[in-house]
Chains A and B, each alone.
Chain A
Amino acid sequence: MKTDSPFDKIMNLKMIISILSVFLILTVLITIKKVSSSQDYMTYLKKEIGPDLPTEEPKTQTSTLPYLNGYDWDDINKMKASIFEKTSFKISILQIIIETSMFLKKPVVEDISKLEIYISALDTFYSSPDNRMIPVFFAMKVIEMQQQAIPEENVSAYRSLLLEKFNKPTKS
């Protein structure tokens, strides 16, 4: 029966340590890259979206509203699709909302690197049926307030205003 010599054992240990070190270094590099690419992206959007672009004239509000709310968000969870696809779908939705709000120079959130946090927070927010009439756009503002550690009573007051406004039967 073949047994490893002490030299082989040390070599094996060195190999394992080397692989682990490479993984550790790569994880750190990926994290740094992710943060910097997010910051670059935000800087890019803030810098490159100039003030000279023409925009549509404001339009009078009608009873048929186009925005997404908690019912739409909940429908995504019920979709016949993989978890990867559902998450990817939610990421794109939030990306579009954030980008559109930035094009309009009214950014809904300050840090796009927190998308995963927003997805999880929105899942929690809309798990309460009371919140489902609130548009995703405003739900993100509520979550942003919580992220910024704004006093709970202020967040709660804002949420109550939203509930009052959007629980009226205006959405189809």
Chain B
Amino acid sequence: MKKIIILVFLISSILINTVIAKHKIFDGTSWLNIPAQFPSVKNTDHIKDIYIRASEGTAFLSGTPNILYNTHTKDNIILSINLIYENKNNTFLPLYYSLNIIGMQKKGVPTDQINLYISQIKRTFNL
């Protein structure tokens, strides 16, 4: 009986954690976890492209578009985001802000200003 109760509690705690994890902001951890999350998908670039378009498209349709869609290729954006998130200091960045940073890099914004922008975001998220 005790074993059953312990097992039930164990399963429920896993479920609760899953529910909480689902509502985490989509950031570098989520991005880097894509291959593990989609084991059936051999090339996850399509999934990454859809995520980028979900964010870029929302900005575009909200009247505040990024500039990436007409200056970068799909592969180029994916590579740039991979580069940003490979730096462990940047994994907290939500996808939308990573796309903004790529836009800033393309515009030739100096690195120190980009770093300042990243620290601003970090402060905003209390990290």
Chain A interfacial positions (CB closer than 8 Å to B): 15, 18-19, 22-23, 26, 29-30, 33-34, 37-38, 41, 45, 48-50, 52-56, 58-59, 61-62, 64-68, 72, 76, 79-82, 85, 88-89, 91-93, 95-97, 99-101, 103-104, 106, 108, 112, 135-138
Contact = CB atoms under 8 A, between A and B. Distances in A.
The size class of the interface chain B forms with chain A is: 35 or more
A48 B23 contact: no
Given A52-B124, A55-B100, A81-B40, A67 B57 contact: yes
B31 to A, nearest CB: 10
B23 A38 contact: yes
A92 B58 contact: no
A64 B70 CA distance: 7
19 contacts: A30-B12, A33-B20, A37-B23, A48-B125, A48-B126, A58-B64, A66-B57, A66-B68, A66-B69, A68-B57, A76-B50, A81-B40, A82-B40, A88-B38, A96-B96, A97-B55, A100-B54, A100-B55, A103-B94
A101 B59 CA distance: 7
B61 A135 contact: yes
A49 B96 CA distance: 12
The SS class assigned to the B binding surface is helix
B60 A67 contact: yes
Given A67-B56, A72-B50, A100-B58, A58 B65 contact: yes
B8 A19 contact: yes
B32 interface: no
Contacts of B40: 80-82, 85
A79 B41 contact: yes
A19 B4 contact: yes
B36 to A, nearest CB: 11
A84 B110 CA distance: 43
B83 to A, nearest CB: 19
B47 interface: yes
A109 to B, nearest CB: 12
Nearest to A94: B54
B88 to A, nearest CB: 21
B54 A96 contact: yes
Given A80-B40, A138-B61, A92 B51 contact: yes
